[in-house]
Amino acid sequence: MNKSLYTVLAFVNINTRRFFRDKLAIFFTIGFPLIFLFVFGGLNSGSGDISMRVAIINNSDSQFAKDFVKNASKGDVLKVEKDVKTLSQAKDKMTKSQIDATIILPKNFGDIQSGQQYPSGKAEVQYTQNNQSSGQALSSILSAQFKAINSKFVQTETPFVVTSNELKQKSLSPFDYAFAGLLGFAIIGMGIFGPVNVFPELKKMGILRRLSTTPLKVWQYFLSTMIGQAIVGLLALFIMFIVAILVFHLKVVGNYVELVLFLIFSITLILGIGLALGGWAKNERQAAPLTNIIVFPMMFLSGTFFPRFLMPEWLQNISAFLPLTPVIDGIRLITTEGKHLFELGPQIGLMAIWMVVIYAIAFKVFRWE
């Protein structure tokens, strides 16, 4: 075996074993991203169905009104608070945002008026000023329900109608969109915080200074760190994928082999930032402030926790050139839209440019002590 390759593989073994002996490193590389996965998965895994918390104040003794309240309580759309009996109780809960709106059925609701052959009535929806959208949505829901009821009593012509047509395409679910950002967050943790935490400690202990007296080259040490970190990173991301699929029903549309290749490229790119910061810093006091200055803008502007399309256009244009942005965009395009690597030219091109720049800086600023 080539001597240089043997040296690289030996340090891959050393670095990997050091990682699995460090419980804190295991937690921040594997455990911490999983915590964020469960938090954001719980927030974004809703089905998207309309569900409203309402109170129903029934002032009518008619059978129609009683049946209406009973059927409303059975449905999935309206979550009826059964312990609210009076309007004052309903108003109190609305002001505290414990319910979204209140349905009031007047005294004659559901009665058969003189000259009519069917029941009638006018329901009232009450809501607070800061909950207008919920009140209007509830009014629309009730109007649709009453329209169906009315059609049973009175036949009316409908000159204008609406038809629906389902597209043969799937839109992103909230969790599918968020998952790519969570992978980006995990890659930041293992690619930047790993070397930034380890290198200054090794310098403090004098280990890197002793390594500098050996024939070990900087590129060999970097390459061994890259390979070891890629192995650990893929393991951490694999665990995230398993949890996301089993718990949150993640559906990956794209090719897994292409996804793995893209993830390796992404880990290698972000790792270069960690190597540059950790290799330059003499101690933790130097590394921590500079790391935060670099990491936090990428974390919040690259689409890690919320979509970039929600940002102002000028900020989108700036954030598009951050190193983490093409990483998250590429992962999202593969997992949710089934894109192939040759279709990710803009993302891979930008990542390649950043990789050249970052590793040139990393080799330039690296110091053994």
CATH of the domain at 71: 3.40.1710.10
161 pLDDT tier (thresholds 50, 70, 90):
low
pLDDT digits (tens, 9 = 90+) for 95-122: 877 888 888 888 888 888 777 777 888 8
Residue 168 lies in a domain: no
Interatomic CA distance for residues 324 and 228, integer angstroms:
21
Render pLDDT for 115-142 as a digit per residue (tens, 0 to 9): 777 788 888 888 887 777 777 888 887 8
- Is residue 43 very low, low, confident or very high in pLDDT (cuts 50, 70, 90)? low
252 shares its domain with 127: no
- Say if residue 14 is in the same domain as residue 64: no
> How much is the mean pLDDT over the chain?
80
Of the chain, the end-to-end C-alpha distance in Å amounts to 31
Residue 260 belongs to a domain: yes
Query: Which of the four pLDDT bands, split at 50, 70 and 90, describes residue 167?
Result: very low
* Domain hosting residue 67, numbered range: 52-153
Residue 341 has pLDDT above 70, yes or no: yes
The pTM score is 0.66
- Tokens representing residue 26 in the block: 């295991």
Amino acid at position 273, single letter: I
180 and 141 both lie in a single domain: no
Residue 197 neighbours by CB under 8 Å, 6+ apart: 25, 278, 284
More confident residue, 42 or 169: 42
Most confident of 31-35, 41-45, 48-52, 77-81: 77-81
Six-digit token string for 14:
């050393």
Domain identity same for 263 and 349: yes
> Are residues 148 and 260 located together in one domain of the fold?
no
Do 288 and 238 belong to one domain?
Answer: yes
| Count of the separate structural domains present in the chain | 2
State the average pLDDT over residues 12-25.
75
Looking at 153, 182, 215, the residue that finishes a domain is 153
Whether residue 220 sits in one domain with residue 339:
yes
Same domain, 15 and 85: no
| Dihedral (Cα; 257, 263, 264, 269), 10-degree rounding | 150
Lowest mean pLDDT segment, chosen from 40-44, 60-64, 126-130: 40-44
DSSP state of 206: T
All residues at 6 or more sequence positions from 319 whose CB lies less than 8 Å from its CB, including other chains = 301, 302, 303, 308, 311, 325
Whether 24 maps to a domain, the answer reads yes
Residues 107 and 189 in one domain: no
Strand, coil or helix: 300: helix
Q: Give the pLDDT confidence of 290-338 residue by residue, as tens digits.
A: 888 888 888 888 888 777 877 888 888 888 899 999 999 999 889 888 8
* 262 part of a folded domain: yes
Q: Minimal CA–CA distance to 188: which of 251, 236, 139, 225? A: 236
Same domain flag for 232 and 328? yes
Both structure tokens of 338: 């089934």
Edge-to-edge, what's the strand order for the sheet holding 78-80? 78-80, 52-58, 101-105, 124-126
- Contact yes or no for 281/200 (Cβ under 8 A): yes
Same domain flag for 342 and 279: yes
